[in-house]
Amino acid sequence: ANPGTYAGGFTLGAAGGLNDGDTAVAFDGSSGRVSLGNVTTPRTMEAWIKTTASGVNDAIFSNRGAFGDSIAYLGVTAGKLRAFHNFRTPADLQSTTLVNDGNWHHVAYTWDGTTGRLYVDGAEEASAPQTDAQPLGTHPGSIGWDSPNGDWFSGTIDEVAVYSTALS
């Protein structure tokens, strides 16, 4: 529903994660992103990623507003997958598995309104109650970039999907 606009340092045509002949996009980690326009109430985010970055935060998907509220975030923090809804939730989720080993990983985060679940390569890595009185809203979404903190993804992303419902 949201056609993307590429900006900054990116390379189209990188080898994809599914071995199906489809290609991916490589991001430079300092300016490459895909702007999606307004994204309303994301409840599931998934992608195939390949990275060796070990920075503080590398955003895969974010629709954080100027104040960091009413948002969804999926990214890599110090080599581990991280996700959350809203900053006021009681728990961010983080994987135990490192995803910055240079191999392709399928990563996903779902939020059903009460519980967040984080998956790496089809296995649930973490779950926790994630509730907030503040409802999710509509903010500009990005692939490879997080607006408030300026966190850029360094690596390759393929097959991104964002859903307004929590997938099982």
**Rounded CA separation 168/152 (Å):** 29
- Residue 66: per-residue pLDDT: 61
**Side chain identity, residue 144:** G
pLDDT digits (tens, 9 = 90+) for 86-112: 655 556 899 999 999 999 999 999 988
- Residue 90: per-residue pLDDT: 58
Partners of residue 156 on adjacent β-strands: 26, 50
Taking all residues of the chain, what is their mean pLDDT, rounded to a whole number?
87
Task: Report yes or no: 123 and 40 within 8 Å, Cβ to Cβ.
Answer: no
Closest CA to 93 of 69, 124, 52: 124
pLDDT digits (tens, 9 = 90+) for 53-76: 887 789 999 987 665 555 788 999
